Structure 1
Amino acid sequence: MEFTMGGRLEVRITPADVGKRVSVRRWSDGPGVGSKFTDTVGVLTSWDDHVVTITPKSGETVHIAETSLAAGKVVPAAPARRRGPAASFDELARITARAWQPVESEPLGDWRLRAANGFTRRANSVLPLGEPGLPLDEALDRVRRWYGDRGLPAYVQTATGAEGTQERLCAELERRGWQREVSAEVRLAALAPLGDRDADTGRVRLSRDIDAAWLSGYQRSRTPGPELLTVLRGGPSVWFASVPGDAEGGTPAAVGRCVVDGRWAGFMAVEVGQGHRRQGLATAVMTALARRALDEGASAAWLQVESDNGAAGALYDGMGFAAHHRYHHFRAAGRDAGRP
């Protein structure tokens, strides 16, 4: 990172640059001979009361005292990814949302309030694509009431790390005491190489619907309710995969779900039973689903993986999936936040 101009470090950003992507260097222990620097790149989300706030692609807001700034400048948007299909954040946000359709939803301006009796935050959070049509505090009050009426915690799903994502909204939520609980990556890959993998798909069974056996292999369905079935079955073109376990009709060795939506195939709910791991079953499930999605005309793949799930991240790295952006679930704090 280079800040010098004529041999000097310069702060070339001002409060007028809020909303732009910037690179800053700050003194870690105060200016002076031998001082160390810390560099931060992200969106300048506020500059108030002599404190500079920057939200990097990780979504973890950084607060910097003005007096600690050694250098700063506006930088271009992050370079385009070199692997996988091209896609905008807005397109992916709508595609991924259609794969986790709620039981009920309601518009709030350009925001969408979604609920499914608590099954998966992706179907029980606000999708804020655009403006809510109200001042932010009023909109968030409406959000709290809507989820509180349903006995649910209020969540807002935001995104960081790509052009058009919501770093400023992340910072505003944090400023109001909302807590970031979960962060995950949206990853993309070309679909054809997935379908071409040399995987043993002979045992993989594909179906348009799920049964009790499939649900027993899905770790999130220990106490399934009708909302779980509604969410999992929802989507433009949904396929379920399973690999039989040791007993016919018993818990599958592996399961998976794929939602085909135009050129996109989304992979989710890929689970392998404890006694069947390291046998290539996750790869077999995804390969079989990819081949079916290719038959339906899809050409691009996406999936979501939590940022701290190293094992799954390594598997998807090997399959050619590259990170596009991150998304986060912010939960309202305080007594009006709804049930835990």
Structure 2
Amino acid sequence: MTIDPGARGRRVVVRHVVGGRGPSGGPAMTDVVGRLVELTEDEACIERRDGSLTRVTLTDVVTWKVVPDRPLRSRRASSASADKLTRITSRGWPAIESMALGEWELRTSRGFTGRANSVAVHGDPGMPFDDALRRVRDFYDQHERPALAQVVMGSDDEERFAAAGWEPMRSHRNGALVQVTDLRPVHAIDPEAVIAPTADDDWLSMYGRVEDPSAARAVLEGPDTVGFISIGNVAIGRVAVSGEWAGIGAVEVLPEHRRQGLARRIVGTAIAWAMGHGADKAYLQTMRDNTAALALYASFGFVDHHEYRYLQPSGAN
């Protein structure tokens, strides 16, 4: 069955054959609901509310239709589990190379940020834990990168890694605090803000911590829906939308222009842009000791959700 190209960008429900027999004796089918983000001659790609993508072969489609947009904030941001939110944040900061290990995600990006160069630990690795650890170390050995695991602090996974001899990475950026908020339509895009789909040299130079610009751009520009915000080449931010979630980050203001409300204008613009692209929840990641940033984000309703840290095998440099 064909799907009307005019439905691209709309919310649809697609019923398709999945193989095997259903309860009535006919072919087994299932429905997928979400935004139609890509349509080729052979398949449709549908983005679900959590940002995950489902690809459906068109020859398997039985019926489809456009459906009304879902009501905003049907589920509160704080109700998401740490496991689920870890998956969502990975979609907003996608690695250059990634590979599934059961439900874990092995990620590597030529060293640009811990998030894109560690195994995201959530769910079941699909094999005994010790075997999974060997697979993790083999993966990073093959990519000539140190083995790192991103784990939720206080979780059973953190305890299992610790029992296997893994220890906190020795770095001042060993993890982050994740905060969330439910978005409200009370913000507008700043009239002086420029929002671009890519990170130009000026934006990237302000972001800092970039040793390999091509690797940084590959990660930062990776999501399908992403905006790079700048105000007068003195303040920047980034916003990426995955389903109903927006990730806000990279908020930087030149030192000589701080305490003038620029960071607030960047965040307000990011929220307005995100809601215009279908998000009704947002997350961000910052350092627990960044008191200025925490005060800013609190004024937008962000609250603590969980913290994560990076672990490395004992004795690693």
Q: 1:98 to 1:132 in 2, by over 3 A?
A: same
TM-score, L = length of structure 2: 0.70
Deviation at 1:109, TM superposition (A): 2.1
Q: How does 1:223-262 map to 2 (within 5 A)?
A: 223-244=211-232, 252-262=233-243
The residue type equivalent to 1:204 in the other structure is A
Pair member with larger Rg: 1
Partner of 2:144: 151
Q: 1:109 to 1:262 in 2, by over 3 A?
A: closer
- Aligned-partner SS, 2:192: coil
Considering only aligned residues, what root-mean-square deviation do their CA atoms show, in Å?
Answer: 2.0
Deviation at 1:101, TM superposition (A): 0.5
State, as a whole percentage, how many aligned pairs show the same letter.
41
Contact 2:83-2:123 within 8 A present in 1 as well: no
1:212 maps to 2:201: yes
The residue type equivalent to 1:228 in the other structure is A
Q: 1:283 to 1:91 in 2, by over 3 A?
A: same
Contact 1:84-1:321 within 8 A present in 2 as well: no
Which stretches in structure 1 are left out of the alignment for 5+ residues?
Answer: 1-82, 162-166, 245-251
**Aligned partner (choices 100, 116, 119) of residue 109 of structure 2:** 116
Deviation at 1:310, TM superposition (A): 2.2
- Aligned-partner SS, 1:217: helix
**Deviations, residues 160-217 of structure 1 (Å, cap 9, x unaligned):** 46xxxxx222112222332223232211112226626xxx923211111111111111
The residue type equivalent to 1:169 in the other structure is D
Q: 1:194 to 1:89 in 2, by over 3 A?
A: farther
Contact 1:183-1:307 within 8 A present in 2 as well: no
Partner of 1:202: 191
Separation in 2 of the partners of 1:194 and 1:188? 17
Partner of 2:179: 187
Deviation at 1:156, TM superposition (A): 0.8
**Aligned partner (choices 265, 271, 274) of residue 255 of structure 2:** 274
Contact 1:85-1:300 within 8 A present in 2 as well: no
Partner of 2:61: none
Q: 1:180 to 1:308 in 2, by over 3 A?
A: farther
Q: How does 1:63-142 map to 2 (within 5 A)?
A: 86-142=79-135
- Aligned-partner SS, 1:195: coil
Aligned residues: 238
Partner of 1:298: 279
Contact 1:153-1:332 within 8 A present in 2 as well: no
Which stretches in structure 2 are left out of the alignment for 5+ residues?
Answer: 1-75
Deviation at 1:84, TM superposition (A): 5.5
The residue type equivalent to 2:125 in the other structure is P
Deviation at 1:282, TM superposition (A): 0.9
Contact 2:241-2:247 within 8 A present in 1 as well: yes
Separation in 2 of the partners of 1:104 and 1:233? 14
Partner of 1:174: 162
**Deviations, residues 110-134 of structure 1 (Å, cap 9, x unaligned):** 2211100110111111112222233
**Deviations, residues 221-274 of structure 1 (Å, cap 9, x unaligned):** 2x2332111000011300010112xxxxxxx21111000112111101111111
Deviation at 1:85, TM superposition (A): 5.0
- Aligned-partner SS, 1:192: coil
**Deviations, residues 268-290 of structure 1 (Å, cap 9, x unaligned):** 11111111111111110111121
Q: How does 1:29-48 map to 2 (within 5 A)?
A: none
Q: How does 1:55-70 map to 2 (within 5 A)?
A: none
The residue type equivalent to 1:170 in the other structure is E
- Aligned-partner SS, 2:184: helix
- Aligned-partner SS, 1:173: helix
Partner of 1:289: 270
